[in-house]
Structure 1
Amino acid sequence: MHTHVIVVATPGRLPRIEARGGLAGRCTGPDTVHLVSTAATPLGGDTLTVQLVVEAGARLRIRTAAATMALPGAQLLQSSARWTVEVAGELDLDPEPTVVAGGATHHTTTHLNLAESAQLRIRERTQIGRSGEREGFWTSALHADVGSTPLLRHRIELGHGAVADDVLAAPRACISELRYPAPTFETPGTVLALAAGGSLATWQGDRLPPNG
């Protein structure tokens, strides 16, 4: 299944939403959109493309109604999600966690372009395996710029077969949060201030915290 979602935030108007495939968008507030599953996705072989545009002077909060469950398909194991984000106003992107079931592989890529006046918070939470499972695999790559200035190039992989996966250290959960222009913020993870502004926090462990 191929799923495609576009959300455009314009000052003084409700966000414009276009969606087809396994996700729908619902306005749940003047500046808030919840993404809601309309089918079981992502399965192996599925692709998800989300485009977010926040115009100058606009605010947008993106949430999801439930966690995303990446499952292996009958013939293919790998699914993918691609986010393209353009922000001149204010964006808060904080979906529920992605859970990669045993045997599944899920790849996420995010391309982010910010205006210098933008305000941003993006949080990504991932758990490898349901109860008793440890065999899933996940990667996430983030490419972020402020105008034409590089802000961040960041890649994480987690799960069975990951570079950091061994018998002594085998994290199965990750939280990654990017903020701009805040140089630091309170978080249980490790915060890194970025040279072009903003900050990145990362945390890894065996299971996501209950309210993490």
Structure 2
Amino acid sequence: MRSEVYIVAYPGRTPRIEHTGGVAVRRTGSHTVHLVSAAATPLGGDVISVRVVVEPGARLAVRSAAATVTLPSAATPESRTHWDVESAGELDIDPQPTVVAGASRHLTETRIRLTGAGSIRLRERIQIGRSGEREGFWSGALHADVDGAPLLRHRVELGGGSVTDDVIGRPLACVSELRYPEATFDTEATVLALAAGGCLATWQGERLTN
């Protein structure tokens, strides 16, 4: 299944929303939308594409109604999610965690373009496996630019077959949070100030705690 979401935030009015496939979008506030599963997705072979545009002077918060659980299909264990983000306003993306269940493989790619006074807070939480599961694999790539100049190039792998795969002490959960233009914030994670402004906070461990 292919699911596509398109959200545009304008100043002084409610966001424009379009969606097809297994992911729907609901307005839950004047500047807030929630992603809602309309079908069992992502299964192996599924692709979810989310495009978010925030116009100058606009605000938008993107949330999800529940955790995303990835599962293998009979044909393939691999599914994908693509985020394409443009912000010239104030954007906050903080969905519920993604749980990579069974022996599924899930690949996430996020591309962010900030312009003008654009700001962003983007938090991503990943858990390999439900209770007692350790076989899943996740790869996440984050590519961010500000006014056409590079801000961040970042990639993380978790789970079976990843670069951190170690039966003794491999991490099975991670949290990453990109903020711009904030250079730091209070968190238990490790915070790295970025050369072009903003910061990236990262945490890895056995299980997500929040």
Q: Give the TM-score taking structure 1 as reference length.
A: 0.98
| In 1: Cα distance, 2:166 partner to 2:172 partner | 11
Displacement of 1:53? 0.1
Letter in 2 for 1:157: E
Displacement of 1:14? 0.3
1:166 corresponds to:
166
The answer to which of 111-120 and 47-56 deviates more is 111-120
Structure 1 residue runs of 4 or more that deviate by more than 4 Å after TM superposition: none
User: 1:63-82 alignment to 2 at 5 Å?
Assistant: 63-82=63-82
Matched, 1:121 2:121: yes
1:26 corresponds to:
26
Letter in 1 for 2:206: D
Displacement of 1:115? 1.1
Letter in 1 for 2:112: L
| In 2: Cα distance, 1:42 partner to 1:102 partner | 13
| In 1: Cα distance, 2:163 partner to 2:25 partner | 36
| In 2: Cα distance, 1:139 partner to 1:26 partner | 28
| In 2: Cα distance, 1:98 partner to 1:138 partner | 10
Matched, 1:93 2:56: no
Write the deviation string for residues 102-155 of structure 1: whole angstroms up to 9, x where unpaired: 210000000100014112100000000001000000000001000111000000
| In 2: Cα distance, 1:95 partner to 1:51 partner | 14
| In 1: Cα distance, 2:167 partner to 2:130 partner | 20
Instruction: Flag structure 2 segments of 5+ consecutive residues without an equivalent.
Output: none
2:56 corresponds to:
56
| In 2: Cα distance, 1:148 partner to 1:47 partner | 27
RMSD: 0.6
Displacement of 1:169? 2.3
Q: Give the TM-score taking structure 2 as reference length.
A: 0.99
Instruction: Flag structure 1 segments of 5+ consecutive residues without an equivalent.
Output: none
Q: Percent identity?
A: 64
Letter in 2 for 1:114: L
| In 2: Cα distance, 1:182 partner to 1:30 partner | 25
Displacement of 1:168? 3.1
1:205 corresponds to:
205
Letter in 1 for 2:126: T
2:105 corresponds to:
105
1:191 corresponds to:
191
Displacement of 1:188? 1.1
Write the deviation string for residues 58-78 of structure 1: whole angstroms up to 9, x where unpaired: 000000000000000111100
Letter in 2 for 1:134: R
| In 1: Cα distance, 2:130 partner to 2:167 partner | 20
2:151 corresponds to:
151
| In 2: Cα distance, 1:31 partner to 1:48 partner | 23
